[in-house]
Amino acid sequence: MNGRLLATLVVLLSTPCLLLAAPGGNTPDTRFVDNGDGTITDNQTGLMWHQKEGRDGIQDHGNPHDADNRYTWTDTTDGDSTNPDGTAFTDYLGRLNGVIADLPVNYDISVAVSEQLGGYSDWRLPTLAELVNLRVRDCNSSEPPSCIAPLFTAPAWGLPATTWTSTSSSTDPGSAWFVSTSSETAESEGKTVHNFVRAVRNIQ
């Protein structure tokens, strides 16, 4: 992890709510590459991101690529509000990785495998530092406001783009951090809340 990311993470983890300044020195036109398969490569960090699609303000959970879908971090039906077993993990990441729970009898597993995003099965939620670093421009430089590169499909206008990270709160295990990709904020929030998601994977 470079010094800039480490410093950002230290500040974030010690602050319950932050206003985040847009990173400087980034050149989105050369930094990000559209791979043509629903994924985007970040040449600066060596990460690959889920591009997303849709953006019509209507959730479609039958399509894990819909930018308007929101998911929970944890499932409380087991009495535990801390585990990473919410729909962000079981539904969203499960679909992207070709792993579908409760398969029906005679289900063709090749169908699940064929749904793997980009042909990979190691998609995960980004850490707090990774998602903060995805913000590359002034949030008000576009209409609707978006702090991420134009190649990425953001949620529809009027929806607060609060996006889950994999980073739990250090003071409250029942909360995790989200980063807004439409405003300069990051905050921890209860894991049962429905927020947006954007998967990432390490290229190497």
Rounded to the nearest angstrom, the gap between the alpha carbon of residue 178 and the centroid of all alpha carbons in its chain is 9
Residue ranges making up the domain that contains 88: 3-202
The winner for highest mean pLDDT among 56-65, 96-105, 149-158, 171-180 is 171-180
Q: Is 160 left (phi over 0), alpha (psi -120 to 50) or beta?
A: beta
Q: What is the pLDDT of residues 19-52, one digit of tens each?
A: 444 444 445 578 999 999 999 999 999 999 999 9
pTM for this predicted structure: 0.79
Biggest CA pair distance of the chain: 53
Q: What is the pLDDT of residues 64-79, one digit of tens each?
A: 999 999 999 999 888 8
Whether the per-residue pLDDT at 151 is higher than 80: the answer is yes
Burial class of residue 129 in the structure, from the number of CB atoms within 10 Å of its CB (0-12 exposed, 13-18 middle, 19+ buried): buried
> Domains in the chain: how many in total?
1
Q: What is the pLDDT of residues 106-148, one digit of tens each?
A: 545 455 555 789 999 999 999 999 999 988 877 766 666 678 8
**What's the rounded mean pLDDT across residues 6-14?**
45
Instruction: Identify the band that residue 8 occupies on the pLDDT scale cut at 50, 70 and 90.
Output: very low
